[in-house]
């Protein structure tokens, strides 16, 4: 297994698209450069913000190949390889490993309700078939399945290949339990916040950072939360954490990853819209987003 330290702000990079919804690999490479130049600590294709749920397998392969080629080892590449079935997850995880991903981010199965026992065996079976570090990915609002802290702790203890967990539940007590229940293992286990508003609390509790959708919009600001925390500048880290609240408030008007992609587009980058039907932001939302982007630009946020 590759030995890798998970840390900092990992960007679940959006997938740029042309007007016909084909993938814009040139702009993907441009976004990767923009993110790395602004200090992000990892690039994660096929997260929620990357629309992994709606990309075909051959598109995922093309995006991952281009990402790995452009990153050139400067930061780790996390590949979202989770599917609904165990067999499909194994196949996609092997493909991501073959293409050179540094870490596999494996979302829980979705749609059908899974017991904790079923989720445990799902991850155990996947881990048997790869030798790339695995990060568990909990986002119950999207999948319908919650990965409980005790299940995370058992997987962390029992499976060497499982080295971390991302919690996007937005439930601070759940995220905190991920950290506290894996703290005393005989190995490094990395817990990442998947909720951008909980990055600093996660770090303060003993987590290692966040997979932050908002870093597509404000990579420098999000990265600084981690850098300032590590430097012991907690007051400044808190200010950086608080500064993204106004942008996150726009999420009330639509799907968060639609808002994020629209924001990057409004900043002047040709990333296109989210793939239909998930691409609409009401006029009120567009006005609110334009206002927040302008205000934050005045503050020097980027």
Positions marked active-site = 137, 166
Q: Are 31 and 13 in contact (CB under 8 A)?
A: yes
Helix ranges restricted to H, 43-115: 57-71, 86-99
Q: Are 179 and 207 in contact (CB under 8 A)?
A: yes
Helices (H) and strands (E) in the chain, counts: 13, 8
Whole-number Å distance between alpha carbons of 127 and 144: 22
Q: Are 62 and 25 in contact (CB under 8 A)?
A: yes
- Residues facing residue 162 across a β-bridge: 134
Whole-number Å distance between alpha carbons of 164 and 173: 17
Q: Is 110 exposed, middle or buried (0-12, 13-18, 19+ CB in 10 A)?
A: middle
Q: What is the CA radius of gyration of the chain?
A: 18
Structure tokens at 125: 């079976």
Q: Are 78 and 43 in contact (CB under 8 A)?
A: yes
Whole-number Å distance between alpha carbons of 152 and 200: 21
């Amino acid at each position: 297994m590759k030995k890798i330290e998970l840390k900092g702000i990992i960007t679940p990079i959006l997938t740029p698209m042309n007007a016909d919804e084909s993938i814009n690999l040139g702009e993907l490479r441009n976004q990767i450069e923009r993110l790395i130049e602004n200090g992000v600590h990892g690039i994660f294709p096929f997260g929620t913000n990357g629309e992994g749920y709606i990309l075909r397998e051959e598109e995922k392969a093309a995006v991952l190949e281009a990402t790995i080629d452009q990153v050139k080892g400067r930061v780790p590449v996390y590949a979202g390889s989770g599917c609904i079935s165990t067999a499909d997850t194994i196949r996609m995880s092997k493909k991501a490993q073959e293409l050179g991903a540094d870490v596999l981010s494996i979302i829980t199965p979705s749609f059908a309700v899974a017991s904790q026992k079923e989720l445990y065996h799902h991850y155990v079976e996947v881990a048997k078939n790869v030798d790339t570090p695995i990060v568990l990915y909990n986002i119950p609002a999207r999948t319908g399945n919650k990965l409980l802290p005790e299940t995370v702790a058992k997987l962390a203890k029992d499976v060497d290949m499982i080295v971390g967990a991302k919690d996007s539940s937005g439930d601070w007590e759940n995220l905190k339990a991920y950290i506290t229940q894996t703290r005393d293992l005989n190995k490094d286990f990395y817990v990442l916040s998947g909720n951008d508003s909980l990055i600093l609390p996660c770090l303060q509790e003993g987590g290692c950072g966040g997979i932050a959708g908002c870093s597509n919009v404000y990579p420098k600001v999000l990265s600084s939360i981690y850098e300032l925390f590590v430097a012991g500048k907690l007051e400044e880290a808190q200010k950086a954490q608080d500064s993204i609240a106004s942008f996150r408030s726009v999420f009330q008007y639509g799907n968060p990853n639609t808002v994020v992609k629209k924001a990057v587009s409004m900043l002047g980058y040709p990333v296109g819209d989210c793939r239909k039907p998930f691409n609409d932001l009401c006029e009120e939302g567009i006005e609110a987003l334009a206002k927040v982007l302008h205000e934050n630009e005045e503050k020097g946020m980027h």
